[in-house]
Amino acid sequence: MKIGVFSTFMSPLATPAMVRDFGRRAEGIGLDSIWMGEHVALFDKNTFGYPSSKDGRIPVPDGGGMLDVTATFGFLASVTSTIRFGTGVALVPQRNPIYTAKEMCTLDWLSDGRIDFGIGVGWNKEEVEACGYSWEDRGARCDEFMTVMRRLWTEPVVDFNGKWVKFEALRMDPKPIQKPHIPIILGGYVDASFRRAVAFGAGWYGFNRDVAGMKVMLDRLDAAFAKAGRTRGKDFQIIVTPPMGMDLDDMLAYADLGVDRVIVNLGSQRAERVDRRLTELAGLVKRAA
């Protein structure tokens, strides 16, 4: 089982020096990957609360904000050589699929094939609508956008005539380093998310799920595979970020479920807390090896 770290870098603490130092130290202690969440905008009031906090709000420092995933991973790729990078998760239904395909294949090219494309449909209605899309059909839009991106990553010339995307004789190069394309890792806990994982995914990502919760989710995932007439293979990656308060020693129990990668939440980005957390993760890496 491999160990990674989840860190949604936020200003003002996530300075260029802090991010650069963190990436090098994370790679140096043998972490498998760095994952980041994505939100391009935050709102004082939301229709639906953030599902991973008790008060329904994303814990952002006063006067600060979340760094962009694509730019941050490009920055980190330039100061590291082996550690992987995962979007946890990219909000595909509110993104332009052609721009997103280009960004991700460029990241894969420049990082020498170190990108995992975790995707989800999102929970923030206001953000989706501010990006110019409707809320209710975001699942169907995600399916179409993913179809577009996979074709752009794998075919030399693409024609596409969908509900949201239409073009003829489109070329996109360079292609990703990873073949057949950048691994697509699906997030989400509703039936449609598991169906999407079976249809598009090289893996499934559970966030804030303890061992018992992951067992339930994997049973539902396997049911989705069975419904599609397939069986989950060993090459289908199971990835989880445990609850923030979970004891590090308890995380080894995920291996018994067949979890491939545990992405531990960094938590606070204050220097002394980062030092402590990286020391803890270095020990977990050794025990999980």
pLDDT digits (tens, 9 = 90+) for 99-149: 999 999 999 999 999 999 999 999 999 999 999 999 999 999 999 999 999
Question: Rounded CA gap, 167 and 155, in Å?
Answer: 14
Question: Rounded CA gap, 263 and 40, in Å?
Answer: 22
- CA 253, 256, 259, 261 dihedral sign is positive
The pLDDT of 178-194, averaged and rounded, is 97
Q: Taking the CB of residue 49, how many other CB atoms lie within 10 A of it?
A: 14
Q: Provide the domain count of the chain.
A: 1
Q: Can you give the CATH number for the domain in which 129 is found?
A: 3.20.20.30
Binned at pLDDT 50, 70 and 90, residue 50 comes out as confident
Percent of residues, the chain, with pLDDT higher than 70: 100
One DSSP character per residue, 221-252 reads: HHHHHHHTT----TTSEEEEE--TT--GGGGG
* Structural domain harbouring 234: 2-288
Rounded to two decimals, what is the model's pTM? 0.95
